[in-house]
Amino acid sequence: MLDLALFLILLTIGYFAGRATEHRHYKSILLREKASLHLPTVTSKMLPEVDQIAKSFLVTGSCVISIDYFKRILAVLRNIIGGRMTAYETLIDRARREAILRMKYEALGSHIIVNTRVETASIFSSASQNGIGSVEVFAYGTAIKLKKKL
Amino acid sequence: MKYTPKLLTKNVNTSTTHPLKEFAILTGGILGALILVYVLLGFVLEWVVVPHIPQSVERSLGELFLGNYAVEDSPERQYLQGILDRLVEHEPSQTLDYQLHVEESPMVNAMALPGGHIVLYRGLLDRVESENELAMILGHELGHFAERHHLIGLGRGLVLLVLSATLLGDQSGITQFLQDSLATVESRFSQRQEQQVDEFGLHLLQKTYQHVAGATDFFERIQKEDPEGPLAYFFASHPSPANRVDFLNELISSAHYPMGEKTSLDLPE
Ligand SMILES: [Zn+2]
């Protein structure tokens, strides 16, 4: 009985805390995306003419986001019957956008980021035994500062 | 190539389904399916598997359980066994070697274990006043044997264990949730079973003593007791005593069973 009560309490805390965090995070992501819209971030490997480049350097951004208890339970249930793991979608989406934003922040002062790559890794220690379940997204690219603006 | 800055307005990477809705659908669906499987398997056990379990298997199962209830052959046990034996003589489907055990525990409970073993708890013995009401309780347990409820219960427990362990692993919270839900289903079954065997016990009482005096005494007495104390288990696993008294009285009047002289219970020291 105590087990069940603890479960329901964790579930409720997980749900409300997770929702609040997610909501706040998305608000901040949208704001910062708007603010950094002026910096082109592309996946193309095409570089500007070499003689136009004043400076080029590696920029990276990484973000680790954890699931909440509610999402974990949702995922366990979803695991049984299969289908879209909607509980994890926002998680990955947030991590990816946050990582790119951080990378852009590191590229402040440059004119473009080329060859942007995004990689992901799951960080977890036996999530089935109430361990940690989180995802890391790592974004990197080459920031280029031009002698004169494009 | 021209670069067009684009702000995400609609997010195609996340779904719009409300997580609570998804949770409700998933738990409802999975829980519903599990309950269905559990109930179906329960019926399969009851009608297909259990009737075909040979007595030899049941006996060896019983030995597994009996380790906890060592037989110390006291005069008291023999006296109680005598009452049981008298009932068994009138039990039409008697096939097992029925053995009575007394467990020194304040709990008010009696159990039918596989292999024909009946365990009486001290707490129950202390509350019994006449041989007739004890015979009613023993008759009830014999009914569980006749209907093979002890095996069905065992099988159900096994099904539940396997279902929750394989599907949910060690997510203890969900497993607990599932077990509690299925326990509700289970108690529906057991209420039906308990009534069935109360009826069995009453008929056996009449056949053995030619009257049914004392049939409701025990239930009437414990009705007034605190349902939280040593009786907690009894109340949790059986229909409320008041209901049983009503049910038995109805049966007695419809079958026109006579009331005779009660035999007092003289437990040897
Ligand atoms: Zn019973």
- Model confidence pLDDT, tens digit, residues B243-260: 889 999 999 999 999 998
Which of A1, A2, A4 to mutate against chain B (most B CBs within 10 Å)?
A4
- The Cα A45–Cα A52 span in angstroms is 16
Q: Indicate the SS3 state at residue B63.
A: helix
> Would you state the torsion angle of the CA atoms of residues B4, B10, B14, B19, taken in this order, to the nearest 10 degrees?
160
Nearest to B15 among A11, A15, A89 (CB): A89
Mean per-residue pLDDT of chain A: 87
pLDDT in the model for residue B2: 73
B81 has a pLDDT exceeding 50: yes
A108 has a pLDDT exceeding 60: yes
pLDDT in the model for residue B10: 79
Cβ atoms of B210 and B260 within 8 Å: the answer is: yes
Q: Could you tell me the distance, in angstroms and rounded to a whole number, from the CA of residue B144 to the centre of ligand 1?
A: 7
Chain A: which residues have CB within 8 Å of chain B?
Answer: 3-4, 6-8, 10-11, 15, 19, 30, 33-34, 37-38, 40, 42, 44, 46, 70-71, 73-74, 76-78, 80-81, 84, 86-87, 89-90, 92-93, 112, 128-129
Q: What is the CATH number of the domain that holds A69?
A: 3.30.110.70
Residue B171's identity, in one-letter code, is Q
Count the domains in chain A: 1
Backbone angles phi, psi at B109, to 5 degrees: -165, 155
CB contact (8 A) between residue A93 and residue B176: no
pLDDT in the model for residue B115: 81
CB contact (8 A) between residue A93 and residue B11: yes
For the stretch B116-137, pLDDT in tens is 888 898 889 988 999 999 999 9
| Per-residue tokens: B216 | 């409701």
B264: which DSSP letter?
A: B
- Determine the structural domain holding residue A32 and report its residue range: 2-146
Contacts (Cβ under 8 Å, ≥6 apart) of B50: B148, B151, B152, B155
Mean per-residue pLDDT of chain B: 82
Per-residue pLDDT, averaged over A111-130, amounts to 79
CB contact (8 A) between residue A4 and residue B27: no
- The Cα B245–Cα A40 span in angstroms is 83
A128 has a pLDDT exceeding 60: no
| Per-residue tokens: B250 | 């109805």
SS (H, E, C) B66-111: HCCCCCCCCHHHHHHHHHHHHHHHCCCCCCCCCEEEEECCCCCCEE
Residues of A whose CB is below 8 A from B26: 74, 77-78, 81
Min Cα separation A75/chain B (Å): 9
Nearest to A84 among B15, B167, B176 (CB): B15
ipTM for the predicted complex: 0.76
Min Cα separation B245/chain A (Å): 31
The band of A23, judged by pLDDT with boundaries at 50, 70 and 90, is very high
A146 has a pLDDT exceeding 60: yes
- The Cα A40–Cα A55 span in angstroms is 16
For the stretch B35-73, pLDDT in tens is 888 788 878 877 888 778 887 787 777 777 676 666 667
Q: Could you tell me the distance, in angstroms and rounded to a whole number, from the CA of residue A148 to the centre of ligand 1?
A: 91
Residues of A whose CB is below 8 A from B170: 128-129
- The Cα B107–Cα B124 span in angstroms is 7
A41: which DSSP letter?
A: B
> How open is the CA angle B92-B96-B102, to the nearest 5 degrees?
110
Domains of chain B, residue spans:
42-255
Residues of A whose CB is below 8 A from B22: 74, 78, 86-87
The band of B94, judged by pLDDT with boundaries at 50, 70 and 90, is low
Which of B4, B9, B12, B14 to mutate against chain A (most A CBs within 10 Å)?
B14
Give the CA distances from residue B268 to residues A140, B76, B94, B147, in Å, rounded to whole numbers and listed in that order: 88, 5, 27, 32
CB contact (8 A) between residue A81 and residue B29: yes
